[in-house]
Every structure is written in C-alpha cells, then in structure tokens.
C-alpha cells in the first residue's frame, strides 16, 4: 500500500470515528448498559441456578458476552453506516469520485469497526473487573482475538450491507443470521450441550472459535488457542475479499 492509499483509509476511519465520538453519549450508554444487562440477567439472575462445575456461571459467561460486544460493535455499526452512506447521504458515491480505490474505502470502514469494537471491549473488561472482580486472563492474547473477530464481523457487515438494497432487509438478515450466532456460538452455553448434529456446524463458525479461545485464556485452561486464531484470520481474509468484491459490484455499475 502506498501513502495515498493509507491516507484514504485513514480519512474514512477519521470520518467514522468523528461520528462515533460525536454520539458518545448514546454510544456510551450502549457500551456500558447493554452487556451489563446480559451479565446481570443471565449471569447473576438465571446463573444462580446453573451449575457449570468448577467455575461460576458469570465467570463462564463473561468471555462470551465480551465477544457479543465485539460482534455488535463491529457488524452493526459498519453495516448501518455503510448503508446510510450509500443510500441516504449518498456520500459513498462522492468518496468514489476522489482518487481512491474501493478496496481502500472498505478497509477504512473495517478499521473503524475494529476500533469501536476495541473501545467497547476495554469498557466492558474494566466494568467487569472493577464491578464484579472478574478478570479475563492474558490481555494481549485476548486483544488478538478481539481484533480478528472485529475485522471478521466488520467485513461481514460491509458484504451484507452492500449486498442488500433495503435497510429493512438488513434488519431481517441481522436478526436471522447474526443474532442467532450469539445464542449458539458458545456464549451462553457450551457448544457440547447443543444437539449433536448442530455441533460441527456451530463449531465451524469463527465466533465459536473466538469464544472458545477467550474462555481458554480467561479460565487458563490448557487448550492450544493458536489454531483458533489462525482459523479466524483465514476466514476474515476470505470475507474481506468477498466484501470488496460485493462493494465493487454494487457501487460501480
């Protein structure tokens, strides 16, 4: 990538971050309240009736909710903002009249999605540590997983938003594809508890690999997490190229 390309990526990123910080009061509420609601309702309410063996249900749940936070703050923001830029403000067309390549615009959006997911993760991790005394283990490893999954879901957000022409359809796809991932990918219960035929399917989803990895980091179990990370990265790269392809196809007609 040359200087021009880097400047374009950063320009898109700066615009998105400006929007994010401008709406910090709304974002902060979402960042702090939403995941904590899940922790309180499921972790502390229902969780008292759940037996997870050695660990409490909240300790089991925390790494899972962390990745729900990452998913929401990368996929949702990227797909919504991109759809607005394409259909509502139509600024996406403008951006493309500048000396830019579609690839660089997509990368800018993904970078903004990753940044927002990281910010949300930091807030969640701090709240958990200082409110409930729950820690997440080796943070540098965790950050690698967060960045990889955030990039994956940001790319997915770009691909789906560009593929669909209608914000209503986006909501439907989100609630039929992305939301169920939160329920099945090991966030609330171990994948091993799912019906046997579902397990290979769910196990193949990158989010499952991330939750598994994060839980291993947090609970310091002896699982090799490197394959999980590699698996996610390969998927992310693939989805990134798909998203650039769909973006080009849809916008340059």
Partner 1 sequence: MSLAMIEVKDLVKNYGKHTAVDGINFRVRKGEIFGFLGPNGAGKTTTLNILAGLSLPSSGVATIAGLDITKHPIGCKKRLGIATQDANFDHHLNIKDNLYYQGLLYGLSRKELKIRVEAALSWAKLGKYRKKHFHQLSGGMQRRLVVARAMLSDPEIILLDEPTTGLDPQSRRQVWDYIKDLKEKGKTVLLTTHYMEEADVLCDRISIIDNGRIIACGTPDELKKVLNNDIVIDIALDPAVVNVVNRHIEKDLRNISGVNYIKRSDNGIRIGVGDDAVIEQVLNSIITKYKISGINIIHPTLEDVFLHLTGREMR
Shortest Cβ distance from residue 104 to partner 1 (Å)? 9
User: CB of 191 within 8 A of CB of 210?
Assistant: no
Asked if 88 touches partner 1 (CB under 8 A), the answer is yes
User: Which residues in 13-52 contact partner 1 (CB under 8 A)?
Assistant: 14-15, 18-19, 22
The reply to whether 250 sits near partner 1 by the rule CB under 8 A is no
User: Taking contact as CB under 8 A, which single stretch among the options 3-11, 151-159, 169-177, 203-211 is the one that binds partner 1?
Assistant: 3-11
232 and 216 Cβ atoms separated by less than 8 Å? no
- Please identify which residue in 1, 4, 87, 237 interacts with partner 1, judged by CB under 8 A: 4
Coil vs helix vs strand at 52: strand
Residue 102: CB minimum distance to partner 1, A: 10
Contacts of 119 (CB under 8 A, 6+ apart): 31, 73
CA–CA dist 121, 70 (Å, integer): 7
Give 78's Cβ-side CA count (13 Å radius): 35
3 versus 222: smaller Cβ distance to partner 1: 3
- Binding of residue 11 to partner 1 (CB under 8 A): yes
97 near partner 1 (CB under 8 A): yes
| Binding segment toward partner 1, per CB under 8 A, in 9-17, 152-160, 227-235, 237-245 | 9-17
- The SS3 of residue 146 is helix
- Residue 176 in contact with partner 1, rule: CB under 8 A: no
Q: Which is nearer to partner 1, 48 or 94 (CB)?
A: 94
Interface with partner 1, residue 226, by CB under 8 A: no
CB 185 within 8 A of CB 202: yes
Record the tokens describing residue 2, joined without a space: 């040359």
Q: In terms of CB distance, is 15 or 219 closer to partner 1? A: 15
Which residue in the block uniquely carries the two structure tokens 């560009």? 162
Q: What is the DSSP letter of 213?
A: H
User: Of the candidates 214, 212, 73, which has an alpha carbon nearest to the alpha carbon of residue 139?
Assistant: 214
Residues of this chain that bind partner 1 (CB under 8 A): 3-4, 7-8, 11-12, 14-15, 18-19, 22, 85, 88-91, 93-101, 251-253
């Amino acid at each position: 990538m040359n200087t021009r390309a880097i400047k374009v990526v950063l320009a898109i990123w700066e615009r998105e971050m400006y929007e994010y910080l401008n709406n910090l009061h709304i974002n902060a509420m979402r960042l702090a309240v939403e995941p904590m609601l899940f922790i309180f309702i499921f972790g502390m309410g229902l969780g008292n009736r759940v037996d997870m063996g050695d660990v409490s249900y909240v300790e089991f749940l925390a790494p899972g909710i962390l990745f729900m936070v990452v998913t929401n703050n990368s996929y949702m923001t990227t797909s919504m903002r991109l759809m607005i830029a394409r259909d509502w403000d139509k600024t996406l067309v403008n951006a493309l009249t500048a000396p830019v390549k579609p690839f660089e615009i997509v990368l800018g959006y993904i970078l903004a999605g990753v940044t927002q997911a990281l910010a949300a993760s930091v807030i969640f991790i701090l709240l958990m540590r200082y409110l409930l005394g729950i820690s997440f283990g080796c943070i540098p490893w965790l950050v690698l997983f967060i960045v990889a999954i955030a990039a994956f879901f940001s790319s997915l957000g770009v691909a789906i938003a560009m593929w669909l022409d209608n914000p209503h359809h986006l909501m439907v796809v989100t609630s039929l594809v992305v939301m169920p991932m939160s329920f099945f990918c090991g966030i609330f219960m171990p994948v091993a508890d799912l019906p046997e035929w579902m397990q290979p399917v769910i196990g193949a989803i990158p989010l499952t690999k991330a939750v598994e990895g994060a839980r291993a980091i947090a609970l310091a179990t002896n699982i090799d997490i490197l394959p999980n990370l590699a698996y996610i990265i390969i998927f992310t790269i693939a989805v990134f190229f798909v998203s650039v392809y769909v973006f080009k196809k849809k916008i340059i007609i």
